[in-house]
Amino acid sequence: MLKGILAISGQPGLYKVISEGKNNVVIESLLTGKKSTAYADAKMSSLEDIAIYTSSEDVPLKKVFQKIAEKENGGPAINAKSSPEDLKNYFEEILPEYDKERVYGSDVKKVISWYNLLNEKGLLVFEDEASDDNSAEIPSANS
């Protein structure tokens, strides 16, 4: 789901990878739909590689998005322009164990805005984990 979606430092929104060259990447803005080129010296992060610090282990961004989607029944999250206190409280409902020392308000705001953008564009698709469970019940042979 998050494969090929980039966040680029210093640029707003998210970008979809269109093609890759030797020293650059052709990208399309999910906000505007405009295509452009990002060069190798730009600080790009794939959403697939981002995780949120918690008190026990890092939680992949995909799982955070899934928790938001479950809370909102697939709808949009709180507005990312809400007050910092409201955003913090909302995020704490989603991920109560997140590390409040290392996850800043700006990080929370980004995660919420990214979720809303991906949700709006229909790019949030979660695999059904139940279908991965091959543990069928075997009836007992008590005769």
* Residue-number span of the structural domain to which 76 is assigned: 50-120
- CATH number, domain containing residue 98: 1.10.10.1650
Res 33: pLDDT: 96
The dihedral through the CA atoms of 102, 62, 119, 129 has a sign that is negative
- CATH number, domain containing residue 29: 2.30.30
Res 134: pLDDT: 43
Q: Looking at the structure, do residues 32 and 89 belong to the same domain, yes or no?
A: no
Q: Chunk the chain into consecutive blocks of 10 residues (it has 143) and report each block's average pLDDT, rounded to whole numbers.
A: 91 95 95 95 95 96 97 96 97 97 96 97 77 41 40
Res 128: pLDDT: 58
Q: Looking at the structure, do residues 13 and 54 belong to the same domain, yes or no?
A: no
For residue 17, the cross-strand partners are 27
Res 1: pLDDT: 73
DSSP-assigned letter for residue 31:
T
Q: Looking at the structure, do residues 36 and 65 belong to the same domain, yes or no?
A: no
Residue 69 forms part of a structural domain: yes
Q: How far apart are CA 136 and CA 143, in angstroms?
A: 21
Q: State if pTM tops 0.95.
A: no
Residue 13 forms part of a structural domain: yes
